Structure 1
Amino acid sequence: MTAFLVFSALIVLLLTGMPIFAALGLTASGILWIFEGRTSSVADTVFAHLNKPILMTVPLFVLMAQILIRAKVIDDLYDLANTVVGHVRGGLGVATVLSCTIFAAISGSSVATALSIGSSAIPQMKRFGYPERDALGVIAAGGTLGILIPPSGPMILYAIVSQASIGALFLAGILPGLMLAAIFAIWCMIRAGSTPRPAWAGWDKVGGAFRRSIWAVMAPPLVMGGIYLGVFTAGEAAAFGTLYALLVATLVYRNFGLKDLWDCTTATLRTSLMVFMIIAGAAMFGHAITIIRLPVGVTEAVTALGLGKYAFLLAVMAMIFVMGMFFESIAIILITTPILLPTLVALDIDLVWYGVLLMVNLELAMITPPVGMNLFVIKGITDAPLSDVVRGSAPYVALMVLGLAILLLVPGLATWLPYAAGFGR
């Protein structure tokens, strides 16, 4: 009963349009006031959660992506993908998926991936006769890879809340991300049918496109490779990536001035402050539900029902899928993880594996109406009817469910790489 009242209060506040951090904070304050008669413990809780070095990766990775987008480095990235695979069956769709995959390893954001690649790809796809609805769908779905392929903003937040290794999570997202990208690409090839295809560009043009895009292609291996090889920590990698992006924009592309830096910095500041405020609200909420022993109660209820790990995970994935239709991904992470964490531990469910399952489910949330963020992003940059964007994305919902099922059946797709690299469970 207590869990129902807590969730009901939180959901009502969120449905009013109240910011996530405010809804979490108010719910937590109400719980503490009712059960403890005071809220004096809030300040120490918030400080403890925000006083973590890993949090500096958030603004740095955001700034890195902002600089590369504003310097138009991404335009060359799409040109490369289109030059290499544009001639194959469904080549424009495959090129778009490939571009989204590479940019996802730069931006860490699904919205930024859909916006950046979509702005370049959709006009090209329409020019070559690619069905508009299919073009809208592949951009919306390909953009979701930003959540799963590292560095991922939502993955960092999950790591903070669950205390899982961020390095292990980053590695765990690589193979599932590539798997989903491959599934999307195969679907594009199947779906293409007899769509007109441009001729093979030739090795000269491929070489030229690669030389122009080399700076974008090199960003992910330089940044993430440094982490995995032990050259620098995640925070240092984010700082290195930002410096790399700034040097490329100013010295190579030479189209990035002080005004651009100011615009990128202010955009980064707004995004980062929003994330930090949400983390603060989530810290309050997590502290409050711990005081009333809600996570312990959930664990005891699951134990009493006799659910095994797979039955529990199926129930959780179904719940998160429904929540994803109405709530933003960050809210889902910060609401559900503190409650489910003790049960995950009690059932011996690998937190890295669960984190990847969660990210794929959150990808689904990005393209499922009525609150699929990528759907509105694509509508915003194309002025296409929202119904067309939803219909174009619908097959990819089924493809992501297929990917989620594969990950449930084969956990090693997520866990093999991080543990082979030496990250202990």
Structure 2
Amino acid sequence: MTFFLILTGVVLLLLTGLPIFTGLGLFSAGLMLLAQGDLAGLGDTVFGKLNSYLLVAIPLFTLMAHIMIRGRVVDDLYGTAHTLTRHLPGGLGVATVAACTIFAAISGSSVATALTIGSVAIPQMIHYGYSPRAAYGAVAAGGTLGILIPPSGPLVLYGVVSDTSIGGLFMAGVVPGLLMAAVFALWSMVTAGRGGNTVRREPAPRPAEVLAALRRSFWALMLPVLVLGGMYLGVFTATEAAGAGAMAALLVALFAYRGFGLRDLWLSAVDASRTSAMLFMILAAAGVFGHVLTKMRIPQEMVALVTHLGFGPIEFLVAVMALVFVLGMFLETISIILITTPVVLPVLLHLGIHPIWYGILLVINLELALITPPVGMNLFTIKAITRAPMAEVVRGVVPYVVLMLLGLAAVLLVPSIAMWLPSTMAYR
């Protein structure tokens, strides 16, 4: 009961519009005063939370993403995807999902994926006969793949907070992410001639066109192969992969996309620094929050409650997923990870639930948070690109919400979807 009162308090405070760091930090400091009567150990807690080698991956992956965004690789990626899929029913919708999938493996950000791909794909889809609603839904849902397909900022944060292998989490996100992308693409093909879509079909590409398209985007396509392949084969840890990815992105942007200059590098570094500093501030506040919860013995109370209720692993996960789904309607992804993980983790260990499996379930649920009103960030991103009524954007994503719920249920009932790939490697 104490935890739910604390959870209600922190959610209400964050809903006032305070920055996450400020709201969570003030709330945690207040709890610390109540729990121990002073703020002794506050500095040590913050330093201990941020003094982690794993956190180096965040600014490096962020820098990699900003370099590739400013390198303007999206036009080539989208053009290649369109060339390869244009002859299929709903081919441009399939191309949009494919471009989102590839860009997700470069950027690690759902909002960046939706914004970057959407600015190119939505006008094209409408021009080729798709209804605006179908175009909005495909981009908003495809953009969510940015936090599931590695590299993923939320997976890094969850790995740091839960002390779980980031390499294992990244590998566990690959199959569910590709499965989700395949389902989205299939939905685009099935609905190509329905619901106001009068989609034009194009002839299949000639071999020369395919080779030319692949040649244009070759180096961008190789970045995910380098990062994920290096981790899978044990060449890199997650942090080393971030460094290698950032360096490779810089070389690709400088030599393959000649429009990238020193000013672009400077702006990319500034943007990456700002994003990383914001995340570290939030992580510091979350470290204090987790420390206070431990002082108040909240995790032990949760374990006792679950034991008393007789919950098994599936029942507990269903309950937590329902809670996260509701929280996702009001809070953004980082807040949910940092607020819930310190409490849920001891129960996971008590019930024998693998933290990597739970991490993937959590991130799929957080994908839903990005496209469910009233605070779905991808919904606002699509509205900003198109100036469309929010109601029209929401109607476009409704089928994808159902598809993602089915995907969440599949990973919940068949853990090997997430756990098979990590089981084949000695992840670090």
Counterparts of 1:215 and 1:239 in 2: how far apart (Å)? 17
Counterparts of 1:67 and 1:282 in 2: how far apart (Å)? 29
Report 1:335-350 matches (<5 A): 335-350=339-354
Alignment identity in percent? 58
Do the aligned residues in 1 keep the contact of 2:286 with 2:338 (CA within 8 Å)? yes
Q: 1:250 deviation in Å?
A: 1.3
Counterparts of 1:262 and 1:422 in 2: how far apart (Å)? 37
1:309-347: CA deviations, max 9, x gaps? 111111111110010000000000000000111111111
Q: TM-score, normalised by structure 2?
A: 0.97
DSSP-derived class of the 1:253 partner: coil
Q: Which residue of 1 aligns with 2:158?
A: 158
Which amino acid in the other structure matches residue 367 of structure 2? E
Q: Which residue of 1 aligns with 2:295?
A: 291
Q: Which residue of 1 aligns with 2:237?
A: 233
Q: Which residue of 1 aligns with 2:206?
A: 202
1:363-387: CA deviations, max 9, x gaps? 0000000000001111111111111
Pick which of 163-172 and 195-204 moved more. Answer: 195-204
Counterparts of 2:77 and 2:235 in 1: how far apart (Å)? 26
Structure 1 runs (4+) deviating above 3 angstroms are: none
Q: Which residue of 2 aligns with 1:303?
A: 307
Q: Which residue of 2 aligns with 1:29?
A: 29
Q: Which residue of 2 aligns with 1:352?
A: 356
Unaligned runs of 5+ in 1: none
The match for 2:322 among 299, 318, 322 is: 318
Q: 1:263 deviation in Å?
A: 1.4
Counterparts of 1:416 and 1:223 in 2: how far apart (Å)? 19
Do the aligned residues in 1 keep the contact of 2:234 with 2:426 (CA within 8 Å)? no
Unaligned runs of 5+ in 2: none
Counterparts of 2:22 and 2:192 in 1: how far apart (Å)? 46
Do the aligned residues in 2 keep the contact of 1:74 with 1:216 (CA within 8 Å)? no
Counterparts of 1:233 and 1:419 in 2: how far apart (Å)? 16
Tell me how large the CA RMSD over aligned residues is.
Answer: 1.1
Check if 1:420 corresponds to 2:424.
yes
Q: 1:201 deviation in Å?
A: 2.8
Count of aligned residue pairs for this structure pair: 424
Do the aligned residues in 1 keep the contact of 2:104 with 2:149 (CA within 8 Å)? yes
DSSP-derived class of the 2:426 partner: coil
1:19-70: CA deviations, max 9, x gaps? 1111221111111111211112111111111111111111111111111111
The match for 2:249 among 241, 245, 251 is: 245
The match for 1:401 among 405, 415, 424 is: 405
1:207-251: CA deviations, max 9, x gaps? 111100001111100112112212222222111111111111111
Which amino acid in the other structure matches residue 175 of structure 1? V
Do the aligned residues in 2 keep the contact of 1:282 with 1:334 (CA within 8 Å)? yes
Which amino acid in the other structure matches residue 359 of structure 1? V
Which amino acid in the other structure matches residue 295 of structure 1? P
Check if 1:372 corresponds to 2:376.
yes
Do the aligned residues in 2 keep the contact of 1:183 with 1:399 (CA within 8 Å)? yes
Q: 1:130 deviation in Å?
A: 1.4
Check if 1:172 corresponds to 2:186.
no
Do the aligned residues in 1 keep the contact of 2:231 with 2:427 (CA within 8 Å)? no
Q: TM-score, normalised by structure 1?
A: 0.98
Check if 1:221 corresponds to 2:248.
no
